[in-house]
């Protein structure tokens, strides 16, 4: 009992320490994959869903929303830190309307990637379609607020992009199509080109504040450790090296785009080092396990394999860095958000 109280105190204290800043950013607009999808996949014909228990058991009211976590995801905490609202809704969620979306919305889809071929794997929303939804949203907001006020909001809103892991772990290293067409280096450049063009399109649509996330240490995700079981379930160094190389290239592209697009406030946020710090030294953050996940056996379960029928799910997710075999717990998301707010987003405060 005493141990649980200590962990609870640590988590509450962490949330209180996330900086509360003045709302110079009126809204947060989100694009990406499952790291930032609050439930768009609920409305898509795909097997990649999380709108059932035990997902969301630590969310408001204990309700599963489609977030791939036991509670909130990083963008929710970022929104709260910017004093906008405590959670960002999914654009396709019928419970919300343009008034809700005026201060923040996510177009993200779990399982998607920069590459259209990645979204085809599990029949989720392709990255280009997220941009089309954004255009639709812009038209709705202009009708809601008026053209001038809406356009000003687009320029002042923070546009967050978190995507790319699925392109490698769900596509390149699984299916032969892309790996036969591109070397890893060439594929990285191919994806960087898509990312750059996406930012150019956002710029044309009036976005001036953009944050793009790099790749995490994807070789240390529980699912990848499981595939490396015959080698001691260590992190897969090759995948981590790919992530680090990709992040260097992405930073180079960001530097070039800042020179190309006048007036843009564009920065890159990398979750790599902070997440790796949690994985290597979990006790420093109040975790007990950074190798396996809370849900199920912790080795491979996610989506429908992580359900209430699985008897192995842990009782306290706050002890774990990962909720399922691919995604962080709410507590880990809070730590990552705190890091982003204090570093990358300091430029926007």
What are the catalytic residues?
34, 324, 327
> Which three-class secondary structure string do you get for the chain?
CHHHHHHHHHHHHHHHHCCCCCCCCCCEEEEECCCCCCCHHHHCCCCCCCCCCCCCCCCHHHCCCCCCCCCCCHHHHHHHHCCCCCCCCECCCCCCCHHHHCCEEECCCCCCCCCHHHHHHCCCCCHHHHHHHHHHHHHHHHHHHCHHHHHHHHHHCEEEEECCHHHHHHHHCCCHHHHHHCCHHHHHHHHHHHHHHHHHHHHHCCCCEEEEECCCCHHHCHHHHHHCHHHCCCCCHHHHHHHHHHHHHHHHHHHHHHHHCCCCEEEEECCHHHHHHHHHCHHHHCCCEEEEECCCCCCCCCHHHCCCCCCCCCCCHHHEEECCCCCECHHHHHHHHHHHHHCHHHHHC
**DSSP letter (8 states) at residue 320:** E
**Closest to 59 in 3D by CA, of 87, 79, 31:** 87
d(CA 42, CA 64) in angstroms, rounded, equals 11
Cis omega before residue 84 (within 30°)? no
What lies within 8 Å, CB to CB, of 24 at 6+ separation is: 156, 348, 349
Instruction: Enter the tokens of residue 121.
Output: 């794997």
């Amino acid at each position: 009992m005493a141990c649980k109280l200590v962990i609870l105190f640590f988590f509450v204290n962490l949330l209180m320490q996330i900086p509360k800043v003045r709302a110079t950013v009126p809204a947060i607009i989100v694009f990406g994959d499952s790291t930032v999808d609050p439930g768009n996949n609920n409305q898509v014909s795909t097997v990649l869903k999380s709108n059932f228990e035990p997902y969301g058991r630590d969310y408001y009211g204990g309700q599963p929303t489609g977030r791939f976590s036991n509670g909130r995801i990083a963008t929710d905490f970022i929104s709260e830190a910017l004093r906008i609202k405590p959670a960002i809704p999914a654009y396709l969620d019928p419970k919300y309307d343009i008034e809700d979306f005026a201060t923040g919305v996510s177009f993200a889809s779990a399982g998607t990637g920069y590459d259209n071929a990645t979204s085809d794997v599990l029949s989720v929303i392709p990255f280009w379609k997220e941009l089309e939804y954004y255009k639709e949203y812009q038209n709705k907001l202009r009708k809601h607020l008026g053209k001038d006020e809406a356009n000003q909001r687009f320029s002042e809103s923070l546009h967050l992009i978190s995507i790319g892991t699925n392109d490698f772990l769900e596509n390149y290293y699984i299916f032969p199509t892309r790996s036969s067409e591109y070397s890893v280096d060439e594929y990285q450049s191919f994806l960087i080109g898509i990312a750059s063009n996406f930012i150019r399109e956002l710029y044309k649509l009036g976005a001036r504040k953009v944050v793009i996330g790099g790749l995490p240490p994807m070789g240390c995700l529980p699912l990848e450790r499981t595939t490396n079981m015959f080698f001691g379930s260590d992190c897969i160094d090759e995948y981590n090296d790919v992530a680090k190389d990709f992040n260097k290239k992405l930073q180079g592209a960001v530097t070039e785009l800042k020179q190309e697009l006048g007036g843009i406030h564009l920065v890159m946020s990398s979750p790599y080092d902070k997440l790796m710090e949690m994985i290597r030294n979990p006790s420093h953050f109040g975790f007990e396990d950074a190798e396996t996940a809370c849900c199920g056996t912790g080795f491979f379960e996610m989506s429908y394999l992580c359900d209430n029928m699985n008897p192995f799910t842990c009782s306290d997710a706050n002890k774990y860095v990962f909720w399922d075999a691919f995604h962080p717990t709410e507590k880990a998301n809070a730590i990552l958000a705190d890091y982003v707010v204090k570093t990358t987003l300091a430029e926007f405060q």
